[in-house]
Structure 1
Amino acid sequence: MREPDVPQAHSTAALTTAPPALRRGACPSLDEPMQTGDGLLARLRIPGDHLTPRRLQAIAETAARYGNGQLEITARGNLQARGLTHQTAPRFAEAIETIVPIERGLVVETPPLAGIDPLERADPRPLASAIRARSVAGLGPKVTVIVDGGGQIDLVALGADIRFSAISPDHWQLSVANTPVGSVATASAAAAAEAILTLIAAHGEAARGRDLPPEVLRQAVAAHLTGTASPSPRPATSAIGEFTLDQGFAAGIALPFGSIDSDSLIALARSALVLGITDLRLAPHHALLALAADPAMLAAWIEAAANLGFITAPTDPRGAVSACIGSEGCASGHLAARSLAAGLSEHHRDLLDGSITLHVSGCAKGCAHPRAAALTLVGAEDNCALVLNGLAGDMPLAEIASARMESALTRLTRQRLPGETTAACLTRLGASTIAGLFRQE
């Protein structure tokens, strides 16, 4: 189903029923905005991740009017607007409500091509809807359920409190946090999810799936299990590229470092309109998909996206780099993270061969990549710190001036043997040798 270009009437009751903290501070109709170094950040949960080009253009124009015009697609495929203030955020929220409905309640995620992907083992949408319908009070806002049909674009790389991975149309593999639990029949999967969510809620609003004692969890879902845990690991898929659907085709691009300015996003939406593309979908890993019956339309859209600076190829080295806005837009940043990341992506393509992730963070909070990365560069007051296989806030392996980072990475690249991946090179060298390469004058 495609969205209509003209939004349907949508209730703004949330504007008057929001908690007092929201009414004081900002975006009562959206997810509670977060204070960042460049103002308030508002996250928009779009139902089904579906947008028309007109709606995307209107959102970008609204973000420029009430914020700083910087938009992001998150690793989970949510749209974010930056640079709002306590004065403009409520007006932004009201304007967004006239453009597109905003999803609230329990976060239940499905892949962006759910239900139209010929390679998925099961359509995850009915189960996702059944789980949403089972309301459980007392859950924290970060509790997330993933229902993954296992198609061309999966959600393997995303964390979840509860995960259902399709085995077949009739059975799902159930995991809680990182613990495989067992298989469940489709008919009882929503009840199993409700039982687990009830347990999480009983531990308080700060509780997550990882906090559940294993013996309590197993007892709660024992009646729903049809088999033992049998996880089948698979590499995470990319949303960048071309995909064949049940009817038609899709093409995916990504935002460089997860962020783009409103003018570029408006231009991209307009190009879709001109080409006759009516269906856009937010996707995980900072991506955006366009759907069309004619692949030639999608090829032209991809070309337009490339000209606007979007990532259009899975081999683009920027796809292996995470970077926050840094000192260019955040008071907490000690490093112009995205400018540095752009330069490193351009000059060190050999190093960024797809076997490692590079995280460039303006400070030790590591907002752009809250997971471990092979290499993390962290801005500090007087220099730049290197963290190996860790988080931005971990103990650094070495510290050097940011101006020397280019030469340090060049020295590291020269250590690679013919045919060796960067990941293999880092493992072979070890921490002490890598630290020496970075400290070398």
Structure 2
Amino acid sequence: MTALPLDLQRGACPALSAPMMTGDGLLARISLIETISPEQLAHICRLALTHGNGMVDISARGNLQVRGLSETSAPHLDADVRAMNLPLREGLAVEVPPLAGMDDSEIADPRPLAEAIRDAARNITGLAPKMAVVVDGVGVLRLSDLLADIRLVAIGKHDWKLLLGGTEQSAYVFNVLRETLVVDTVIDMLKRLAILGNKARGRDLASDLAVNEPTPHTSSSSSGLSRGSASVATVDPSQMLGTSPSMTAGKVAASPFDLFRLSNHRHAVGIGPAFGQAKAEHLIALCGEAARLGIRSLKPALDHSLLFFGTEIAFRALRDFAHDNGFITSVTDPRSHIAACSGSPACNSATIATHEIAAAAAAECADLLDGSFKLHVTGCPKGCAHPQPAALAICGTADRVSLIAQGKAADQPFAFSSFADTNATLRRLADLVGSERRPGENSAACLARIGSDRLAAAATGRS
């Protein structure tokens, strides 16, 4: 893997009161910890029109982002949003699945632990700007594929597995804790990270504690953090979360673009803008229709989605309206299987119009986009839209496009393409997968089996 230049390394992230400069102006992030009403989201969109360029993002982690702000208008957006008294997240990012506490399939409700960690961490300074803690109760919608420095995963009503760094699948399994020990253990880890410096992340902590992922039948009490080990039962990690969608071979993690039956006869439906970005006017229209149908609450959620809460009858009507107006409403929509950053010209680092490439890929290569992987389309090697490895990635460089298999955007490409030939190249790869796919085999498995050499031959028209 090649190291990125300093100006192309992922570092700080924007906030409401600390926006970040991009190609189309300043970008401010609005992070919520509870639901808001359709009317409130519509008002945020009107503020995006007033203070920004009218483009609104929903990030992969479910944060709202207002684009195109100026040095003058950004403080006004900050003040106007705060005047709305929204449930804003302040300080450390402690995240729970979007259906937490409403999902009968959950092993445990993660919200009390998340709130306790968030409160206890308020006075810890010096952490990395992108530091994230995930508390996952293991329901129908998981945060397994999101990167986290510290991850807690329920394995019983009062027992939590603690992992460090990466996604759930790639993280180091550190310990198994009784619920009464979780908050103190996590706070101790955060303090250790602060001591290591503001560039230290979860994997650095694992290294600092000399932790190795335990093998089956190895007691977790051998961990480096004695505070969490004294009253911890021995657990066979091979039995942990054996049915988790993200960790079970051949299964695809649940998508938010679906209709969900929740506790207390409630329902939720997931709807999202293509590639995580929408014009404010379009979101205002969607929120207006939701309010007209009697829908009272919504939440920005993972995978660039909006989850609306209410009745099943209302949702079917809202989904029809959203579909007719260009929103993603189903996991069968190929656009839901593409991770694309904002691209050029919205981002200063980007060299390609990612959304144009992604839209063409969704239209022309739907057979390749079967949900078994995320096609990563990135304007530069930072790979902000999909920082973990992808089965296939398209990355803009200074003078061409690189193609990467089974890796991150900055990894060694298997082939290159001219800007103009990008989608034709992708179509050749899709044709190869279509001709080589075995019965019952998905696209991700087929891409891995074909290998880089044959993908390179197809990409360059030599096969």
TM-score, normalized by length of structure 1?
Answer: 0.88
CA–CA separation in structure 1 for the residues paired with 2:133 and 2:276: 23
Aligned to 1:161: 149
Quick one: distance in 1 between partners of 2:45 and 2:145?
28
1:189 aligns with 182
Partner SS state of residue 47, structure 1: coil
Change over 3 Å in CA distance of 1:275–1:79 after alignment to 2? same
Mark the runs of 5 or more structure 2 residues left unpaired by the alignment: 1-12, 166-170, 212-223, 246-252
Aligned residues of 2:52 and 2:69 also touching (Cα < 8 A): yes
Partner residue of 2:61? 76
Q: The residue matched to 2:91 in structure 1 has which SS?
A: coil
Tell me the distance in 1 between the aligned counterparts of 2:320 and 2:231: 49
Describe the SS at the equivalent of 2:173: strand
Q: Deviations over 1:340-380 (max 9, x none)?
A: 11011011111111223211122233222222222211223
Matched, 1:281 2:267: no
The number of residues matched between the two structures is 413
Give the match for residue 267 of structure 1.
285
Cα distance between partner residues in 2 of 1:147 and 1:428: 34
1:290 aligns with 2:308: yes
For residues 221 and 401 of structure 1, the distance between their equivalents in structure 2, rounded to whole angstroms, comes to: 54
Q: Distance in 1 between matches of 2:28 and 2:369?
A: 31
Out of 33, 43, 56, which is 2:41 matched to? 56
User: Whole-Å Cα distance in 2 between the matches of residues 365 and 181 of structure 1?
Assistant: 28
Query: Are 1:414 and 2:431 counterparts?
Result: yes
- Show CA shifts across 1:300-325 (max 9, x none): 11111112211111111111111122
2:241 is aligned, of 217, 232, 235, to 232
Which of 59, 71, 79 matches 1:86?
A: 71
* Cα distance in 2 for residues equivalent to 1:385 and 1:29: 31
Pair 1:201–1:402, CA change in 2 (3 A): same
1:196–1:268: structure 2 CA closer, same or farther, 3 Å change rule?
same
Alignment check: 8 A CA contact 2:14 2:29 kept? no
SS of structure 2 residue aligned to 1:303: helix
SS of the residue 1:142 aligns to: coil
Q: Secondary structure at the match of 1:406?
A: helix
Against the structure 1 CA distance between its residues 143 and 83, is the aligned structure 2 distance closer, same or farther, given a 3 Å change threshold? same
Query: Any idea what SS the aligned residue of 1:226 has?
Result: coil
Cα-to-partner distance string for 1:113-156 (whole Å, 9 max, x where unaligned): 11111110111111112212213422333222111111111111
Backbone CA RMSD of aligned residues: 2.1
Aligned: 1:397 with 2:418: no
Q: Secondary structure at the match of 1:402?
A: coil
- Provide closer, same or farther for how the CA distance between residues 430 and 55 of structure 1 changes in structure 2, counting only shifts above 3 A: same
Q: The residue matched to 2:380 in structure 1 has which SS?
A: coil
Q: In 1, distance between residues paired with 2:368 and 2:346?
A: 27
Aligned twin of 2:124: 137
Q: Which residue of 2 aligns with 1:12?
A: none
Describe the SS at the equivalent of 1:232: coil
Match of 1:361 among 378, 389, 400: 378
Letter in 1 for 2:27: L
Counterpart of 2:442, as a letter, is: T
Counterparts in 2 of 1:130 and 1:338: CA distance versus 1, 3 Å: same
Task: List 4+ stretches of structure 1 deviating above 6 A.
Answer: none
Range that drifts further, 380-389 or 249-258: 380-389
Distance 1:348 1:375 in 2: 13
Q: Helix, strand or coil: the match of 2:271?
A: strand
Instruction: Answer whether contact 1:180 1:229 (CA < 8 A) is retained.
Output: no
Q: Which amino acid aligns with 1:254?
A: G
1:175 aligns with 2:163: yes
Q: Using the aligned pairs only, state the percent identity.
A: 40
Equivalent residue number for residue 254 of structure 1: 272
Q: Does 1:206 align with 2:206?
A: no
Residue 188 of structure 1: how far off its partner (Å): 2.0
Q: Between 210-219 and 81-90, report the one with greater CA deviation.
A: 210-219
Taking a change above 3 Å as real, the CA distance of residues 32 and 356 of structure 1, as seen in their structure-2 partners, is: same
Q: Displacement of 1:31 after TM fit?
A: 5.3
Deviations 1:182-206 (A, max 9, x none): 2211222212212212221221222
In the alignment, what sits opposite 1:438?
Answer: 459
Length-normalised TM-score, structure 2:
0.84
The answer to whether structure 1 residue 306 and structure 2 residue 327 are counterparts is no
Kindly indicate whether residue 173 of structure 2 is the aligned counterpart of residue 152 of structure 1.
no
Distance 1:406 1:140 in 2: 37
Q: Secondary structure at the match of 2:281?
A: helix
Distance 2:236 2:201 in 1: 21
1:117·1:246 contact (CA, 8 Å) conserved in 2? Answer: yes
